[in-house]
Amino acid sequence: MLLPGAALLVLAVGLVLSALGHGQLAATLWNGSALLAAVLLLVEILARLRRREIGVDLIALLAIATAVLFGQALVAALVALMLASGRALESYSGRRAEHELRRLIDRAPRMAWRYRDSELEQVPVEHIQAGDRLLVRLGEMVPVDGVVLDNSVTLDESALTGEPLPVRREPGDTLRSGALNAGTPFEMRASHPATQSTYAAIVRMVEAARLSRAPFVRLADRYALLLIPVTLALAGIAWLISGDPLRVLAVLVVATPCPLILAVPIAIMSGISRCAHRGILIKDGATLEALARARRLFLDKTGTLTMGHVSVLAVESAGSHSREQLLRLAASLAQSSPHLVAQAIVETAQAHGLSLERAQEVREQPGAGLCGVVAGHAVMLGGHDYVAAATTALPWSEGMLRRMAYEVAGGSFIAIDGVMAGAVLFSDRLRLESPRALRLLRQAGIRHIVMLTGDRADAAQAIGMAVGVDEIHAGLSPAGKVAAIGQGRGEGTSLMVGDGINDAPALAAADVGIALGAGGTSASSEAAGVVLLVDRLDRVAEALRIARRSRAIAVQGVLVGMGLSLLAMLLAVAGYLPALAGAVVQEAIDLAVIGNALRALGAGWRERATPRLAGDWIDSLREEHAALLPLLERLRTAAEGLDDAPPAQAREELAGLIEALKSQLVPHEQADEDSLYPQLSRRLPGEDPLAALSHTHREIFRLVHLLEQMNAAPAGSSLEEIQRLLLRLDTLLSLHFAQEDELYHSLDSR
């Protein structure tokens, strides 16, 4: 701010001297400041010429020289002030645009506390190696990637993800460098040195983004060069029309400087900074521009559209044991295995509040299954062939295999005391936000969505239909994914979203690769142009919206700014805008263009209009749904097996189920209708945005009431009629809970 301050001071002093009758002294001061600005500008122009670059600064130099030559000292001083203030405004706006990027760089961890034997020493993070034991104190940053060693920890990951709420990490959980310890001190073990950790990769990407120049910026520079001959041509026309050198000066003044070279880089950098604030790292301006042009999207399936890990879908009984007994025995045995499916079974049993017993005499056949003794019963758990080889064949198991094929699910069969007793069905669940994320992507301008997967065709088809993709390619190797992307690149700018190491070639092959939830050290994040630090697919749509908005603001600044400058030049040619007024007008144009470009730092109307709910409130809503899951499973069991039990037993179980529905389900849904939905409706657009869900509530109330009446009728309804009603209620509740879960997830502020 030194140069604009000095130029303003000289201008003010000159005005005072002129008012006191010392016009010659004022002119000398004004000419001196203008010539100083001209010298500095000439040095800058010569330096650019050595780099074989030329810009519209040449017009500013011509304007100052012409003003001094024709004795317009005040105009020369105003141009010098305009030039200095323009540079200061550009520097200030550039710093604002890079604020989030600089914040990420400046807070990079530099020191860490490391244990050497039993003593602590403070060392630079560059000295940390994988395997070192570290201490992270309250308020300190996690210096490198690693794992929690001792107790649960509370971390502030807002700098990484843009989410303000703290997160919990348990012993054994992975940690990403850059997170802030918001709780008690804890110990961790480094898994990577500093140069290979998440935050180092983030800093590398941010530095590349700061130094990059987008194609649109370079194109803007070339277009700016057109202004020089246009300005000179208009100045020549002004001379021919009037023969007045002051008109020539007026044309030169209003052409200095050019809004084109101010609007574009500021808007592009503002967009990159805005993305960084939301946990979306973009490597350079060229990537942001490519995002803005994207029309075709390729998606990996596993870990991108799905959760990427096994989840238990259901526990099915062959009839001799209840589902709860089967789950308890299977989970007790599964505790002895490190297999992912076994761990998922254990987690499901624990979520249902089942107490597990220690298995004895456990033997595991890798890849097939395991067996052992649980509570005096010989239990087997594993694939169908493994379990069937030691048990008597049952028609039930053949039907279960057909169901698994239809539903594209895996299964672990359970045998108890040598008899096939049931099965645990599991699959890789669809991400909760996937269907909505694809809808948002289409709203953001994506016209064609293709799913690429190495999985079998039937599994891919099931996921693709659930989320609504346009095209599916299954059974692909990494090379096959690259080939599929290559075939589609001629149809517009393509994006590829993936999360695994095997996605790295495909991410590199697309015009823009987007690594989902990457920690910054994997092959996928190195190959990608965009890295999402938040493991949410809907952030891809947000990145597209920010990119399109930033580019639109840049184009808007160019068109409006250049249009106003050209209009001012035409007015100057016609003699309606003298040089002194032209300098003021051009300064106003520059201010308007810079202010408009900085709008890219903020949220657009769509983001501002989207409501967000506190994360703890969302968690409480999910916990309420989780508490009702056992009741829903009980309802499903009754709906599917009511006719298998003796009539008296069926009536007794039905009466208990109806009582549980009245005491647990109905109050929950009524509370949602009376208190939750009115609060949500005030946050959502439209007169009655939750009308469909409210209608579902009323149908649930009606079906439960009808079920109670049918069971209590003196004559008694047939079990077949009641079973049909149970099936309707089960289907309705499954859909209703899924819709509410998706709604809550979309409103989550984290």
Query: What is the token pair recorded at 459?
Result: 């599994």
Alpha carbons 207 and 148: distance in angstroms, whole number: 30
| Residue type at 168 in one-letter notation | R
C-alpha torsion 174→176→181→184, nearest 10: 20
> DSSP states of 165-202 as a string?
S-EEE-TT-EE-TT-EE-SS-EEEEESS-GGGSHHHHH
Alpha carbons 603 and 601: distance in angstroms, whole number: 7
> DSSP states of 225-236 as a string?
HHHHHHHHHHHH
Task: Please pick, among 300, 428, 511, 748, the residue that the annotation labels catalytic.
Answer: 300
Closest-CA residue to 426 (of 330, 335, 336, 299): 330
The pair phi, psi for residue 311, each rounded to 5°, is -130, 140
Report yes or no: 446 and 497 within 8 Å, Cβ to Cβ. no
Report yes or no: 252 and 511 within 8 Å, Cβ to Cβ. no
Alpha carbons 299 and 510: distance in angstroms, whole number: 11
**Max CA distance (Å), the chain:** 116
- What is the rounded radius of gyration, in angstroms, for the C-alpha atoms of the chain? 34
Report yes or no: 258 and 227 within 8 Å, Cβ to Cβ. yes
Alpha carbons 598 and 162: distance in angstroms, whole number: 20
Alpha carbons 79 and 37: distance in angstroms, whole number: 9
Closest-CA residue to 736 (of 682, 688, 700): 700
Alpha carbons 252 and 460: distance in angstroms, whole number: 64
| Residue type at 61 in one-letter notation | L
Whether residue 395 has a cis bond before it, omega within 30° of 0: no
Report yes or no: 197 and 129 within 8 Å, Cβ to Cβ. no
Query: What is the token pair recorded at 256?
Result: 């200095």
Residue 708 burial by Cβ neighbours in a 10 Å radius (0-12, 13-18, 19+): middle
Query: For this structure, is 538 an active site residue?
Result: no
Buried b (16+ CB within 10 A) or exposed e, 647-660: eeebbebbeebbeb
Q: How many angstroms separate the Cα of 302 from the Cα of each of 460, 471, 514, 584, 639?
A: 10, 16, 15, 59, 32
Q: At what angle do helices 260-277 and 215-242 cross, to 10 degrees?
A: 160
Spatial neighbors of 160 by CB under 8 A, at least 6 apart, are 176, 178, 179, 198, 199, 202, 279, 533
Give the CB-side neighbour count of residue 383, counting CA atoms within 13 A.
8
Q: Other C-beta atoms within 10 Å of 168: how many?
A: 10
Strands 111-116 and 280-282, bridge-based pairing: unpaired
Alpha carbons 513 and 274: distance in angstroms, whole number: 19
Report yes or no: 644 and 638 within 8 Å, Cβ to Cβ. no
User: How far, rounded to the nearest angstrom, does the alpha carbon of residue 645 sit from its chain's CA centroid?
Assistant: 50
Strands 306-317 and 419-430, bridge-based pairing: antiparallel
Alpha carbons 636 and 315: distance in angstroms, whole number: 11
Report yes or no: 7 and 37 within 8 Å, Cβ to Cβ. yes
Q: Which residues are catalytic?
A: 300
